[in-house]
């Protein structure tokens, strides 16, 4: 906690944005030129700028290209199997093409994206826990991710269809609040589902799929997805371009009912986001309930996600304030490593006066191991994190995690994890 308080104190002293920087009055022309360049660079949306106006021209034509590098620098000075310090990095490249602007194809969008990951896994090499302390670890190679077409505004914006090479985790079991965290248990999707369903597709591993979302009435939505399910698609040697469909593989089907509370055009109350869903995977799984595990056909699970803002600093048009969240996921214990999963936390945007774009977050995640896995009980994660937006293209995020009962084993000491996440948008 001392580390967290120190970070918050330092953040309070930082300028809210590049425009707030007070430039020293230098008589030397070289120094004046440097400070002008420094100020302009911090204020621009991307580190590489507007490419002499080319970026604006492309976007006006419907083409948006972005690249973001994220790195986690984490170490465990206390606990785990051994003490270590590791880094993990991810370079994400995204190309979004508005085909209506470009070629007049009404309502149609094309997306292609990829990643280049590198680094080492602190959880596997030093701590020995299940919920990886760095969510961006995994798939250490160059790979293709999305290759998809989307119709986001069919039938007067009531139907949204996406098809191609996509990830289920982009749309289902998701909340923007989860992106505030670093640990795999929170960031992206609730951590138990990808562990229980190895073929669950999420960045940076995509699969053939079709996702449809229908908004029958304001605030309510029904979403369903059908995905090709094969765990080997994530292997590094495939680089995301194994497009084959094997008869022995299965399918992953998921459905979700969503309710957006106080998010209509005339709503002035505090917004909320409520979801309930279920999924089925047709592949074979080990039946843990037998002494000599046999295969069992299929797997399934249920989940509930809740986000509800409870305090807002200003009017409805502002985002500064406090939003708690909670997640519960259940799956049968005879075929799932983590049949019970629970997470909850608090996310505050603009906690420190003058730093409206910063995000402070605290989260707790609890995963209970199957009763048939002897010697493993539960793993719990506590995370404190603070993302400082120093520029539209630069975020520094000091992070503290405490891992209780790594992999549910009492013989592995509880681990303290300290470090930093850095994100740069090019």
* Tens-digit pLDDT profile for residues 200-243: 999 999 999 999 999 999 999 999 999 999 999 999 999 999 99
* Weakest mean pLDDT among 14-23, 113-122, 135-144, 295-304: 14-23
Quick check: 354 pLDDT over 60?
A: yes
User: Phi, psi (5° rounding) for residue 401?
Assistant: -130, 150
Whole-angstrom Cα distance, residue 299 to residue 195? 12
- According to the model, what pLDDT value does residue 30 have? 59
Q: What is the mean pLDDT of residues 346-358?
A: 95
100-111 in b/e form (b: 16+ CB < 10 A) is eeeeeeebbbbb
Q: What is the mean pLDDT of residues 64-76?
A: 97
Q: Which residue has the higher pLDDT, 28 or 335?
A: 335
CA dihedral defined by 2, 17, 33, 54, rounded to 10 degrees?
120
Confidence of residue 36 (pLDDT cuts 50, 70, 90): low
CATH number (domain holding residue 22): 2.40.160.180
Q: What is the mean pLDDT of residues 330-335?
A: 97
- According to the model, what pLDDT value does residue 34 have? 53
Quick check: 6 pLDDT over 90?
A: no
Are the CB atoms for 419 and 74 separated by under 8 Å?
yes
What is the model's pTM?
0.89
Whole-angstrom Cα distance, residue 223 to residue 206? 18
For residue range 231-277, list pLDDT tens digits in order: 999 999 999 999 999 999 999 999 999 999 998 877 889 999 999 99
| Total tally of structural domains belonging to the chain | 1
- According to the model, what pLDDT value does residue 35 have? 55
Quick check: 422 pLDDT over 70?
A: yes
* Weakest mean pLDDT among 16-20, 117-121, 388-392, 421-425: 16-20
Angle at 127 between CA 347 and CA 358, to 5 degrees: 20
- According to the model, what pLDDT value does residue 147 have? 98
Whole-angstrom Cα distance, residue 248 to residue 250? 7
Closest CA to 143 of 167, 114, 164: 114
Q: Which residues contact 297 (CB under 8 A, 6 or more apart)?
A: 282, 284, 285
For residue range 184-200, list pLDDT tens digits in order: 999 999 999 999 999 99
For residue range 157-180, list pLDDT tens digits in order: 999 999 999 999 999 999 999 999
Whole-angstrom Cα distance, residue 79 to residue 250? 40
* Average pLDDT over the chain, rounded to an integer: 91
CA distance between the termini of the chain:
33
Which structural domain, as residue segments, surrounds residue 9? Answer: 2-425
């Amino acid at each position: 906690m001392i580390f967290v308080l120190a970070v918050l104190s330092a953040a309070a002293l930082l300028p809210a944005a590049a425009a707030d920087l007070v430039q020293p009055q230098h008589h030397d022309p070289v120094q004046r030129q440097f400070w002008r360049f420094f100020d302009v660079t911090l204020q621009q949306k991307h580190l590489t700028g507007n490419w002499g106006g080319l970026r604006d021209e492309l976007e006006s034509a419907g083409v948006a290209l972005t690249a973001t590098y994220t790195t986690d620098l984490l170490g465990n000075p206390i606990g785990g199997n051994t003490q270590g310090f590791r880094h993990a990095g991810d370079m994400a490249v995204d190309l979004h093409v508005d085909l209506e602007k470009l070629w007049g194809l009404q309502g149609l969008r094309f997306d292609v994206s990829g990643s280049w990951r590198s680094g080492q896994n602190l959880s596997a090499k030093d701590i020995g826990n299940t919920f990886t302390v760095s969510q961006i670890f995994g798939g250490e190679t160059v790979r293709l991710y999305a290759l998809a077409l989307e119709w986001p505004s069919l039938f007067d914006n009531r139907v949204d269809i996406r098809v191609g090479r996509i990830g289920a985790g982009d749309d289902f079991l998701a909340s923007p609040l989860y992106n505030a965290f670093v640990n795999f248990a929170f960031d992206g999707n609730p951590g138990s589902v990808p562990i229980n369903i190895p073929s669950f597709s999420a960045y940076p591993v995509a699969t053939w799929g079709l996702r449809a979302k229908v908004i029958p009435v304001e605030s309510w939505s029904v979403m369903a997805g059908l995905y090709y399910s094969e765990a080997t698609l994530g292997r590094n040697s495939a680089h995301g371009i194994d497009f084959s469909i094997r008869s022995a593989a299965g399918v992953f089907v998921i459905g979700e009912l969503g309710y957006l509370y106080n998010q209509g055009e005339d709503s002035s109350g505090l917004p909320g986001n409520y979801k309930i869903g279920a999924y089925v995977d047709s592949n074979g799984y080990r039946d843990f309930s037998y002494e000599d595990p046999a295969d069992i056909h299929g797997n399934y699970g249920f989940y509930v996600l809740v986000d509800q803002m409870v305090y807002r600093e200003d009017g409805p048009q502002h985002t500064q304030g406090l939003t708690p969240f909670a997640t519960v996921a259940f799956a049968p214990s005879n075929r799932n490593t983590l049949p019970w999963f629970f997470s909850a936390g608090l996310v505050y945007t603009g906690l420190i006066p003058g730093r409206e774009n910063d995000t402070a977050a605290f989260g707790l995640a609890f995963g209970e191991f199957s009763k048939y896995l002897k010697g493993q009980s539960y793993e719990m994660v506590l995370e404190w994190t603070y993302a400082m937006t120093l520029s539209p293209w630069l975020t520094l995020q000091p992070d503290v995690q405490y891992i209780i009962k790594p992999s549910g084993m009492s013989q592995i000491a509880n681990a303290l994890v300290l470090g930093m996440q850095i994100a740069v948008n090019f």
